[in-house]
Structure 1
Amino acid sequence: MARRRTGLDEVRAHYAKQMAAVSGSRDPRIERAFDMVPREAFLPPGPWQVVAGDHLIPTPTADPAFLYQNVLVAIDRDKGINNGEPFLHAGWIGAVAPQPGETVTQVGTGGGYYTAVLAVLVLPDGTVTGFEIDAHVAADAATNLKPFENATVIAANAVTAAFMPSDIIYVNAGVVAPPLHWLKALKPNGRMIFPWRPAYNVGLAVLARRTDRGFAARILSSAWFIGCVGATDYHISRRQPTPAEARRTKSIVPSEERPPDETAVVIYPELWFSSAPE
């Protein structure tokens, strides 16, 4: 008879089943990845500060069991750096569908928890390269990720850094518009998921995919993230779209390939979002 799992192992296994359920994916590896990666290993020592609306609620003790629920956990509250909401990230991971051998570029590693989950999902031959602009957070993430030999952290601003060709670009910081070189770094059928902040009152998760016709885009849900340094200037757009207009987005078009037309939802210097398919 199989040995019954108890204690923290049992709590993490139950949490992993929840992550698989909300991912929207049938890939059994997602459950295994969340079960394998200990969340507490990517956070400062407990007790921890759990984010509840505008409040911080300390966990009663440093028991890691308190971490295996759908909560944000503060890493550096003054800078707005958190370990993000697990249900949201499980859904994003299900949407980008990492496969063995793929190359992932992550913008904003934080403590490295979701970097580690992505690293597990692209084994045995895939890699994850994470960019983190905060040097101290990047150093902590690099230490946390030492057991994951296929994951690397670079202390740099991803808005200006060069990207290697990527199957997946996973963005953990809100952008008014994704830099054009991010899109150009996507391989054929490459996927990029990012929090889009085209207006003060608009925060959406966008899944972009490179096809043989251009860049398809799909709005997944609402999403509110800390701003990405260097990509938060609302004034670069000709006008800010309403929430309803933003949700009509179906493709992203580099301006060098085609000038904006009547389908434009919002126009930026290097690219524009269209309500027409790619």
Structure 2
Amino acid sequence: MDAVEKAMAAVPREGFLPASERSRASYDGPLPIGHGQTNSQPRTVADTLRLLAVEPGQRVLDVGSGSGWTTAIAAELVGPNGSVVGVELEPDLVAFGQANLAASGRPWARIEQARGGVLGWPDGAPYDRILVSAETATLPQELVDQLSETGRMVVPVHGRLLLVEREGGEVRTSEHGWYRFVPLR
């Protein structure tokens, strides 16, 4: 079992689903959490987190935190010496995700209300890792700018999952398959 599998096992999906969806937690597909948003397919979450290569002690930004599940998994991966900030635009989902995350017992992670017109959480930058769980039309430079000098970001852009790696002043991108995500608003 790799680190991502262990982290996902330590953070059961059912604790991050509406009561009406909890019986379907083992389903390997997206499940609705309200407001047109979904709790992502477990296989997709595992794929993105493996590509992100989160390590203990790192600082992680989770854009589109939704129910808080990926925020909690990232918190499990970084451990108490790291930190995770999830950001979500929909106020009801912010409250839902915050409650779910609090119940998971990982105080080094939090979810913040995204600010209109601001992508990510620049106040806490730079981040070692950025996970974007919503699709964009183009690579968001605003998020690239929030990466540390050796940071990695996983972001779905126009259906393609991109890994963005920053090394000093250079940015490299590579494609890692086709995925469907809700749009980033």
Same fold (TM over 0.5): yes
Give the Å deviation of 1:205.
0.6
Distance in 1 between the 2:116 and 2:143 partners? 9
Query: TM-score, normalized by length of structure 2?
Result: 0.91
* Distance in 1 of aligned mates of 2:174 and 2:133: 17
The partner residue of 1:205 within 134, 156, 161 is 161
Q: Is residue 176 of structure 2 the alignment partner of residue 220 of structure 1? A: yes
- Identify the residue that residue 74 of structure 1 maps to in structure 2: 32
The one-letter code matched in structure 2 to 1:193 is V
TM-superposition CA deviations, 1:173-198 (whole Å, max 9, x none): 1111233221111112200111102x
- Decide which of 110, 135, 138 is 1:174's aligned counterpart: 135
Task: Report the CA distance between 1:31 and its aligned residue.
Answer: 2.1
Q: Which residue of 2 aligns with 1:154?
A: 112
- Aligned equivalents of 1:80, 1:215: Cα separation in 2: 33
- The residue type equivalent to 2:7 in the other structure is A
List per-residue Cα deviations over 1:131-152 (Å, max 9, x = no partner).
1000010011001101221111
Higher relative contact order (CA 8 A, sep 6+): 2
Deviation at 1:30, TM superposition (A): 1.8
> What is the distance in 1 between the residues matched to 2:38 and 2:183?
13
Kindly indicate whether the alpha-carbon contact (under 8 Å) linking 1:96 and 1:191 is maintained by their aligned counterparts in 2: yes
Report the residue type matching 1:227 in the other structure. Answer: P
Distance in 2, Cα, partners of 1:150 & 1:132: 17
- Equivalent residue pairs, number: 180
Question: In structure 2, how many angstroms separate the alpha carbons of the residues matched to 1:213 and 1:192?
Answer: 15
Residue-by-residue CA offset, 1:115-163 (whole Å, 9 max, x unaligned): 1111000013111101100001001100110122111111114751542
Measure, in 2, the Cα distance between the counterparts of 1:221 and 1:148.
31
Query: How far, CA to CA, are the matches of 2:62 and 2:116 in structure 1?
Result: 9
Residue identity opposite 2:38 in structure 1: N
SS at 2:19 equivalent: coil
Task: Report how far residue 68 of structure 1 moved.
Answer: 1.7
Identity of aligned residues (%): 29
Q: CA deviation at 1:210?
A: 0.1
Q: 1:159 to 1:128 in 2, by over 3 A?
A: farther
**93, 99, 121: which one aligns with 2:49:** 93
Please state whether the residue corresponding to 1:145 is helix, strand or coil.
helix
Point out 4+ residue stretches in structure 1 off by more than 4 angstroms.
none
Larger Rg: 1
Aligned residue type for 1:106? D
- Mapping for residues 23-62 of structure 1, pairs under 5 Å: 28-46=2-20, 48=21
Q: Distance in 2 between matches of 1:131 and 1:32?
A: 24
Cα distance in 2 between the residues matched to 1:127 and 1:178? 24
Residue ranges of structure 1 left out of the alignment (5+ in a row): 1-19, 21-27, 49-61, 198-202, 230-278
- 1-structure distance, mates of 2:174, 2:145: 18
